[in-house]
Amino acid sequence: MKPVKTRVILIAVFILISFFSIIPSIYPNTPGWWKAITGNAEMHLGLDLQGGVYLVERVETGKAVKEKLYKDYSDIESFVKAKKPGKTKDITLKNGYIVLSGGLLKNKTSMAALKTYIKNHHISLKLSNDIIGFKPSALSLYKKEAVEGAVEVMRNRIDQFGLVAPKIARQGKNLIVVELPGVKNVKQAIKLIGKTARLTFKLVDDKHNIVNALNGKIPKGDEILYHIKYNKYTHKTTKIPYLLKKTVLLDGSAISSANVQMNQYNQPTVGVSLNSEGAKQFGKITTKYTGKRLAIILDRNVISAPVIEEPILGGNASISGHFTMAQANNLAIALRSGALPAPVKIIQNNTVGPTLGADSIHDGILAAVVGTILVILFMVFYYKFSGLIADFALLENVLFLMAALSLFGATLTLPGIAGIILTIGMSVDSNVLIFERIREELREGKPIVIAIENGYNKAFFTILDSHVTALITAAVLFYFGSGPVKGFAVTLSLGIMINLFTSLVGTKVIFDIISNKKELDKLSI
């Protein structure tokens, strides 16, 4: 008599847990207490099943490096000006390098002081003869940080969308793959994700004439940016030019929070709170430049340029620009999540419609059901009653697999459904090996109980070997693959591990129950 009680209880518990875990995935309106019992376990549908957006974006790392070099150039220029007034013409920015010339090069004292300053304050730069440039290691690091920073910023923005199971991952040196399943407003999502959202504060140059600047006579240290305004009634866009100082007085890194507010005219604005350091800097800026205009710039577009009427010391500011509620909300999200360290360019944009997703679900489920029915019929036809036992293990396998996907909060994709179908095939394949071994034992004239025992023992290592090999393959697919390939690998891996249990324990316990109840003189196999 073989003890089976423990194994029966174990299988029964697994089946009960599986049913409880699957229900929330099938019925979205499952009561809250039910979801609480299962730990809010729920399987999600992937991009190819419920529709959404698949993007591949390239981070323009060169622009991030260029901007960093300009900041260093501005600081070094200020140092040179402080040490030797009137000689800033001897230091220029050209072709990705800071170029030194004239009297500055000839003055050994000034050059020694400059070399010491660079060594102490700009460790990423290297002074070589008359050129200052990035060290190769620093250049690679800035590019890497630009991509990693872009991934983090995009993830923060996507999280605030409230999407289920979004994916964002770095690919190669400067590419980012973004999957947004279930997105309804595709254009809005793409615009928000790719928005640089770099907020800067710069002084308006009211000393020089904007007309002369537009004709090519731009003063050194100045630039022309525009306030772009769209009239929703005439559908016309106007561009108002501003002559600004290039120096950034404050940027978006000082922002601690941003929220939509309503002003006195009941129009949406974006209220910004600065961190302690930012509040301190903003207080100094507004104190120093009281009476002058301070331009608020977002992604090189002048939002507004109000006059600083008095020092702003509280660390709070308001950005207004005739926003709609949606525009204000998107701006607040972008500012809260931070600015992209470099612009991104979409190089691949695939939109999957919900209709196509519904068709994929229908075809996938149909394929799984038809495949399962055909396998069940074949096993009953070829192995008789033993085939029914194998079919029980097959259904058990599918149930446990769906429960595991739900408990892990996995995302089911079309390749994932293919993995489930493959698992169905592997499930009966293990039982075929066992049953053929049992048949061999019976042909040799051994008693049925011994034939069953030997059949399982002899097939054990063959089944284990095939499953471990398949598991290694799935692991490789998961490690090197991305998106749908990973979905297939996850489903296949879980299916392999579950199949080992159901084929070696799930079917064996039924044979043990039968042999315990009566002496077998014939086995339907």
Same domain, 17 and 76: no
Residue 60 forms beta bridges with which residues?
A: none
Banded pLDDT at 162 (limits 50, 70, 90):
low
The phi-psi region of residue 172 (left if phi > 0; otherwise alpha if psi is between -120 and 50; otherwise beta) is left
In a domain, 386, yes or no: yes
* Domain span holding position 499: 5-46+353-517
Residue 520, pLDDT above cutoff 70: no
Across 274-288, average pLDDT: 87
Type and span of the H or E element at 224: strand 222-231
Across 132-156, average pLDDT: 84
Same domain, 492 and 406: yes
Same domain, 33 and 86: no
Question: What pLDDT is stored for residue 414 in this prediction?
Answer: 77
Max mean pLDDT among 69-83, 239-253, 331-345, 348-362 falls in 239-253
Same domain, 219 and 117: no
Q: DSSP assignment of 118-163, as one string? A: HHHH-TTEEEETTEEEE-HHHHHHHHHHHHHHHHHHHHHHHHTTT-
Residue 229, pLDDT above cutoff 70: yes
> 3-state secondary structure string, 416-453?
HHHHHHHHHHHHHHHHHHHHHHHHHHHHCCCCHHHHHH
In a domain, 159, yes or no: no
Question: What pLDDT is stored for residue 339 in this prediction?
Answer: 66
Same domain, 236 and 260: yes
Across 291-295, average pLDDT: 91
Same domain, 396 and 442: yes
Residue 509, pLDDT above cutoff 70: yes
pLDDT digits (tens, 9 = 90+) for 246-262: 888 988 778 777 888 88
Same domain, 326 and 221: yes
In 3-state terms, the chain is what percent helix, strand and coil (to 5)? 55, 20, 25
Domain boundary among 351, 375, 397: 351
Looking up residue 385, the CATH number of its domain turns out to be 1.20.1640.10
Same domain, 12 and 85: no
Same domain, 91 and 14: no
Same domain, 500 and 369: yes
Both tokens assigned to 30: 């499952």
Whole-prediction pTM: 0.56
Nearest Cα to 345, choosing from 195, 187, 200?
195
User: 52 near 179, Cβ under 8 Å?
Assistant: yes
pLDDT digits (tens, 9 = 90+) for 441-469: 888 888 888 888 888 888 888 888 888 88
In a domain, 165, yes or no: no
Same domain, 36 and 74: no
Question: What pLDDT is stored for residue 354 in this prediction?
Answer: 60
Residue 388, pLDDT above cutoff 60: yes
Same domain, 254 and 325: yes
Number of compact structural domains in the chain: 3
